[in-house]
Amino acid sequence: MKTILTTTAAVLALSAPAWAASVSELDGDGDGAVTLDELQTAYPESTAVDFAEMDTNADGVLDEGELRAAQEGGLLPQSDS
């Protein structure tokens, strides 16, 4: 069972986008913040619940700090660099 879980985790990690999220990469309308719709364009598997967990100040958008924290917390893939 442990082997199956480890293998599944590895496959999921490798299938995620390899690039790091940043506001400039995800911000489709150029307003300097990332909405749920913009996040889901890059990460279709992200849910409203995931977004709410990332949106730590509950303002309805993600800023650079929240995106970085989401990467560090495992909610979004981290950069290869």
Residue 78's pLDDT band, with cuts at 50, 70 and 90, is confident
* 27 burial via Cβ count (<10 Å: 0-12, 13-18, 19+): middle
Amino acid identity, position 15? S
pLDDT tens-digit series, residues 29-68 = 999 999 999 999 999 999 999 999 999 999 999 999 999 9
Phi-psi region of 49 (alpha: psi -120 to 50; beta: other; left: phi over 0): alpha
- The pTM score is 0.71
pLDDT level of residue 79 (50, 70, 90 thresholds): low
Q: What is the spatial distance between Cα 47 and Cα 63, in angstroms, rounded to a whole number?
A: 17
**Boundaries of every domain in the chain:** 18-81
**Which residues on adjacent β-strands are paired with residue 62?**
34
pLDDT of res. 17: 46
Mean of pLDDT over the chain: 82
Sign of CA dihedral 67, 71, 75, 79: positive
- 18-81, CATH topology level: Recoverin; domain 1 (1.10.238)
